[in-house]
Each structure stands twice: as structure tokens, then as C-alpha cells.
A and B are shown apart, each in its own frame.
Chain A
Amino acid sequence: MATQLRKAPGSGDLYSVMELILDRGLVIDAYVRVSLVGIELLTIDLRVVVASVDTFIRYAEAMERLGWHERERSPSAGLPDMLGDGMTSHAVNRGSQRLAGAISGDRSSNGRSGGGRSTSAMEVAGKAAKEGLSRLKDSFTEDSSDPGDDVQDDDDERQEMRAAPRAARDRNGAENHRRPKRRGVGNDGAGVKPQQEMPRRKEVRAH
């Protein structure tokens, strides 16, 4: 019984085999004569960076966004309730502060951050994150011109809660402006892999 899941390689999609013919197969060192300069660049681009500051920020924001979605769905903690019930919003805020405190406690002990399991790439990225922090922050504050910024100065907590998800999304939007620059190479088939990831991300943003 034929399966629809498996793709035959000849179905016009060169990308799935490109990595195989460039990176694998029998190599006879002295005889690689075809001009492969462009191919070497292509091969490097195929090896996507594993962890980076952008990735960490994206995860944290995605989690927050998902957290908000969950809250909106549940009737007892929906935004309308927050706006309508001063006591509820206050209680939620208090809870957040306690949780944040617990997390800061974690941070200092370094126990729960999965220290033993962190890859060296992540440690390096963590250091780079601290070093590049102000630079990134500057570009973010430059980019964001949304009303959310004005609201930050407002002491009304409820307005802040309402603006926060939107601010998060705007920051993501700003981030997306910078992202294509980082990808770099994009000739012929070379751009296929990075672009393969982009549509997936766009899908996410549409929520």
C-alpha cells in the first residue's frame, strides 16, 4: 500500500537531495575539480546556528504569548474579568511577583537552568547575550513606536496588562525586520533552507 508520507526524490524538489550529493557519497580527494566555491558557502548556510540570543528571546516571548492565550480562554481569568474586577487583577499581579521572585531565586542558584544539560553553544550564547544586551535593547527601543510605549509610563496596571501582549507582538514585528539581514546568503538554491523556516514562523504570528 503506497504511503503519502514518503516523497520520492525525483519529484522535482532538489533541496532534499542537495545536501546528500554535496555532503555525502564517496569522496575521492584529489579529484574534486568542479568549481565548488559557491557550494561551500551554501553548505555552511545549511548548517543553521543552533542557539542564539534571538532564539532565547523568541522562546520567552512565545511562551508569554501562549500564556496569555491560555488565560484568555479560561473564563475565570479572561481579560474582561481583569478589567472588570479590580481585586482579581491585583491578585494576579501579586502571584506574578511571587513567581518572578521564585525564578530569580532559581537564577542565582543555577540549579534549574539545566546547567548540566546546557550545551556549550548555549553557554556561549548566554555570555554573548549579556554582552550584546544594551546593543539589542537600543535597536528595540528605536524600532518600537507603538502606543504601548507611552502606556509604560502610565501607572495604571490594568492598562499595562492590556498593552503588554500587543507590545510583545510589536517587538516580534520589529525583530522580523532585522531577521532577514542576519540570514545573509540567498542565491539560487542557496536560500531554500532559511526560507523554509520563515514561512513556519509567519504562520505562528498570524494567531
Chain B
Amino acid sequence: MNNSWYLYGIVRSPLAKTRKAALGIGVGDPPAKVKSVSHQQIAAVVSEVSSDAPPGAQVRGLRRDMTAHTSVLERLMAHTTVLPVRFGVCIPSRHELVENILRSQYDWLDQQLERLAGAVELTLRITYKEDEVLRELQQQQPVLSGAGRLSGTRRYQRVTYSDQIERGQRIAAAVQVKREQESQALVAHLRPLAREVAVSRPPSDMTVLKASFLVDRQSVEQMDQAIESLYKKMKRLADFEYVGPLPPYSFASMRLPYGG
């Protein structure tokens, strides 16, 4: 019997009885019961997984297990501060869990729970609607749209092609300038409403902003209002994706050294 402990996150100990009951079930098939393992004032939230189990029953990178992982963390978040662990971490034994993680990293984990106490994560992604931003750029900088093409002849396609690439590069540069300016203004505007801000590298050339905010639970509504009014101003040009409250994944992104 080879049992490991799948780790969801770290919370304060002791957990109130009601919270223990709310832990529920987690990863694996059938889904295992979620438990807590305490050490002084912190606790690891875990469930047992068996590496002897058939592949379907083990924890895998599937929708099923990822959903279970996020559900456990969201249930915890409803009641208490949780330091979320990345998907897929299994500790081989209870002994190692307590010794190498809870005990040897106690001070650091305790400090992180203090830092995140009472806060949740809100994510914001703002993306330009391509045609709209190009239209706006064209109005502001008419030369970007060119004016058709060079004198048309049989060589129409060949000549226009390289022209188009260079023109496209110029347009892309203009888009980048615009979105960088807009991104900086947005962050400056929203930063005062949050404890911390984590700005990500834009995943596409149409992304204006991809950021996470660590926000006091009681300040979420204020952030909502600020983002709503930004949306009203920008909705012709851009789409908004605003998600939360979430456990503070982006503010727990650290590598815990193994052992002591």
C-alpha cells in the first residue's frame, strides 16, 4: 500500500469544526476525503492518493482533478486565509509532510499566512478588439493605413506583399505604444485599491493588461466599482475579463526549499 498525500494548500490551525466539515472531497477517482494535518498554528490541507491505484484512479492532469483542486481551495477561501499550492504536489508520507514542510518551513509559512490574511485575488484581463483599435489608430495616424497600394500592374501581389509586412510592422509598433501607455495608466489607477499588484507579461499583442490584484475582502466592492467605470469608458475598444474572488495563487508563487 503506497499512499501519498496530495497537498492543496496551507491554512491556519486549528480549523474550526465547521470548517473541517466543509473540507469535503478532493482529487482522484473515487475522490478522496480532504483532511488537515496540523503543526502548531499552521495546517496542511491534504487528501490521500494511492500510487498503487489503477491509472484512472490516480491524480492526473485532467479536468476532473483540476476542478477538484480548485474547488477545495475555493471552499477553504470562503472561511479562512489559504496559501494555495500549485496543482500536482504529492508528499510521500505524513512524516515528510510534517518534518520537511510544516516544521522546517514553519516561520516562513507563518509569515506568508500573515501577509495574505484577509485578502483575496482578483484577476483582470483587458484585450483590444482588433478592428476597433486599428480603426482608432487609423483615425489618429492616417498614414498607418497606407492608401491602397503602389501602382497596380502584373507585379501587384509581389510588390504589395513586402509593403504589407513593413506596414504591418509599423501598425504593430503603434499598437504596442498605445497599449503600453494604457496599461501603465490602468495600473496606476487601480494600484491604490489593492494591497499588492502582480502584472503579467501580455500573452498577445492585443492584450492591454493582464494583472492580478491582492485585495482586502472588504475592498472587493470598491475594486468592482472602479473596474466597472473603466469598462464603461473602454468597452468600445476592449473586452474585459474580470474574475474573483480567488485564493491568492499569484501572491503565493514561490518555491519552497525542500527539507531544512
Contacts and interface: CB of A to CB of B under 8 A. Distances in A.
Interface size on B, as a range, is: 35 or more
Nearest to A204: B131
Given A6-B244, A67-B138, A27 B255 contact: yes
Contact of B131 (A10, A50, A66): A66
A112 interface: yes
Interface string A1-33: 101011111100010111011111111111111
Contacts of B231: 5
Contact of A9 (B70, B83, B173): B70
A66 B142 CA distance: 11
14 contacts: A3-B228, A6-B243, A17-B70, A24-B252, A26-B86, A33-B51, A34-B89, A53-B165, A59-B171, A60-B164, A63-B167, A113-B173, A137-B158, A161-B148
A24 B211 CA distance: 13
Contacts of B250: 20, 24
**A21, A27, A96, A126: residue with the most chain B Cβ atoms closer than 10 Å:** A21
A161 B63 CA distance: 52
A5 B240 contact: yes
Contacts of A59: 134, 167-168, 171-172, 175
A24 B171 contact: no
Interface stretch (B32-40, B54-62, B183-191): B54-62
A152 B156 contact: yes
B209 interface: no
B165 A129 contact: yes
Given A24-B86, A34-B59, A107-B166, A29 B258 contact: yes
A200 interface: yes
A31 B70 contact: no
B242 A7 contact: yes
A153 B166 contact: no
B143 interface: yes
A60 B171 contact: yes
Interface string B34-53: 00000000000000000100
B246 A20 contact: yes
B146 A67 contact: yes
A17 B146 contact: no
Interface string A81-104: 000000000000101110110110
Interface residues of A, number: 89
Contacts, number: 283
Contact of A62 (B63, B67, B74, B131): B131
Interface of A: 1, 3, 5-10, 14, 16-18, 20-36, 38-39, 42, 46-48, 50-51, 53, 55-64, 66-67, 70, 93, 95-97, 99-100, 102-103, 107, 112-114, 117-119, 122, 125-126, 129-130, 133, 136-137, 140-141, 152-153, 157, 160-161, 164, 188-189, 197, 200-201, 204, 207
Contacts of A36: 61, 88
Nearest to B257: A29
B94 interface: no
A56 B168 contact: yes
B42 to A, nearest CB: 12
Return the 5 tightest CB-CB contacts between A and B, nearest first.
A56-B168, A114-B173, A34-B88, A60-B164, A25-B86
Contacts of B12: none
B193 interface: no
B4 interface: yes
A96 B177 CA distance: 26
B168 to A, nearest CB: 3
Given A3-B228, A60-B167, A64-B145, A24 B203 contact: no
Contacts of B228: 3, 5
B70 to A, nearest CB: 5
B64 to A, nearest CB: 10
A51 B154 CA distance: 30
Given A26-B86, A28-B89, A34-B90, A113 B166 contact: yes
A200 to B, nearest CB: 7
